[in-house]
Amino acid sequence: MRILPLGTIVRLKEGTEKLMVTSRLPLCNHNGKIGYLDYGACIYPQGQISPQSFFFNDEDIEEICFEGYRDEKEEKFCELCKEQVKDIKYPRFTIREIE
Per-domain boundaries in the chain: 9-98
Q: Does the pLDDT value for residue 52 go beyond 90?
A: no
At 82, phi and psi to the nearest 5? Answer: -60, -35
Given this model, what pLDDT does residue 99 score?
Answer: 82
- Dihedral sign, Cα of residue 85, residue 87, residue 88, residue 92: positive
Q: Kindly state the average pLDDT of the residues 25-54.
A: 93
